[in-house]
Structure 1
Amino acid sequence: MPDILVLYYSRGGSVARLARHIARGVGEIDGMNARLRTVPPVVAATQAALPPVPEDGAPYVQPRDLAECAGLVLGSPTRFGAMAAPLKHFIDGLGAEWASGTLVDKPAAVFTSTATMHGGQEATLLSMQIPLLHHGCVIVGIPFTEPLLSTTRSGGTPYGASHVAGGDDDPQPSEEEAALARALGRRVAEVARRLQR
């Protein structure tokens, strides 16, 4: 079965939970499978290196995950209106994949989480799409044919799935946020399936 790579960095758990909803949506498309992967946190050179496998959660991404995937969904918490440093650090190291066209013509989407409604979700989602365009990906969003996009009072945008964690940093997506994340997963998987024909 073709895999959609759901690749993310999560610190408080919100982005990881959105990733699992996206993965569920991918699995709702016949013949498609989600491959959950994460990136390690960025550490100073003077600190001890992290183990090669995380203690819990998704495994760390490997270059072969990018080569083997039929589509890609990137997720990151918002840091001042942009993606978090660990995901940016990983993307900055993809020069060989860019030069060889590893991601060319693969559908790609993005997702994020913020503490507040005006924490920069749309700026983060749009800026996360820029390196995907440089890699030749086909950008996939959430169309307004998804009724919840017009009625959600929390996360969810046409640029990608999102979550508002609030002041208490609640990692659990609302019902609308989870449904829109699943819709994004389905859409990326469906576009990937169509492109493979």
Structure 2
Amino acid sequence: MTDDYILVLYYSRHGATAEMARHIARGVEMHGVEARLRTVPAVSADCEALSDSIPAQGAPYASLDDLKNCAGLALGSPTRFGNMAAPLKYFLDGTSNLWLTGSLVGKPAGVFTSTASLHGGQESTLLSMLLPLLHHGMLVAGLPYSESALVETHGGGTPYGASHHAGADGKRALDEHEITLCRALGQRLATIALKLGNDRGPNR
């Protein structure tokens, strides 16, 4: 898999989801697989994109080719009323051609989120992100309860994907269990992608 990578694609407003993305990427790389960090520009009801074509800092903006050519996907968003943030949904809404060509069929995918409140819609947000991935024919990789941090956590962590409780001000750092689960998700995606290898056929 020397030419393959796991795409860690996310939107982050205050930095918590971006920090999760970096830990997931670390988990991917612990298995000798490249992790490619990408983000998406902000959107609003008044303007499609509020950002320049190249972000001033952090990960580059994702292209459809980044998604098309990945060996697996980790998709992350802060929670917005129990759903993924509009910028990430806007990007996914533009992937119809990848759906038509079956470019993502059979590739592993996992999701992650961050919320201001402990019970602020983490699980519904994770499930909302899984829906378009299922339509693309991706193979959902959650977090099994064999991960002890999933049982021990007092912050984020769900079987549907990694999560983080950022606090009302958004400044609560990821705790030990949240970091462990982020890295576990990255490792899981890398492991599955490696096992699938050439079995994905012409869409690989």
Structure 1 residues 48 and 113, CA gap change in structure 2 (3 angstroms): closer
Q: Kindly provide the CA deviation profile for residues 132-187 of structure 1, in whole angstroms up to 9, marking residues without a partner as x.
A: 00000000001001111011000011100000011231152111101100000000
Residues 79-88 or 39-48, more deviating: 39-48
Tell me if 1:166 matches 2:170: no
Deviation at 1:49, TM superposition (A): 5.5
Tell me if 1:13 matches 2:9: no
Q: Kindly provide the CA deviation profile for residues 49-103 of structure 1, in whole angstroms up to 9, marking residues without a partner as x.
A: 5321100000000111012210001000000100000000111111111101111
Q: Distance in 2 between matches of 1:102 and 1:45?
A: 32
Q: Distance in 1 between matches of 2:72 and 2:49?
A: 34
Q: Kindly provide the CA deviation profile for residues 91-139 of structure 1, in whole angstroms up to 9, marking residues without a partner as x.
A: 1111111101111000000000000111000011011101000000000
Q: Where do 4+ consecutive residues of structure 1 move more than 4 Å?
A: 44-49
Q: Distance in 2 between matches of 1:151 and 1:114?
A: 19
5+ residue gaps, structure 2, are 199-204
What percent identity do the matched residue pairs reach? 58
Partner of 2:180: 179
5+ residue gaps, structure 1, are none
CA RMSD of aligned residues (A): 1.4
Partner of 2:5: 3
Q: Distance in 1 between matches of 2:132 and 2:65?
A: 19
Q: Distance in 2 between matches of 1:49 and 1:188?
A: 32
Give the match's secondary structure for 1:112.
strand
Q: Which of 20, 25, 29 is equivalent to 1:23?
A: 25
Equivalent pairs counted in the alignment come to 196
Q: Compute the TM-score of the two structures, normalised by the length of structure 1.
A: 0.96
Deviation at 1:47, TM superposition (A): 8.1
Contact in 1 for aligned 2:143/2:160 (Cα 8 Å): yes
Q: Distance in 1 between matches of 2:40 and 2:196?
A: 27
**Residue correspondence of structure 1 range 99-114 to structure 2 within 5 A:** 99-114=100-115
Give the match's secondary structure for 1:196.
helix
Q: Distance in 1 between matches of 2:49 and 2:67?
A: 27
Q: Compute the TM-score of the two structures, normalised by the length of structure 2.
A: 0.92
Deviation at 1:35, TM superposition (A): 0.2
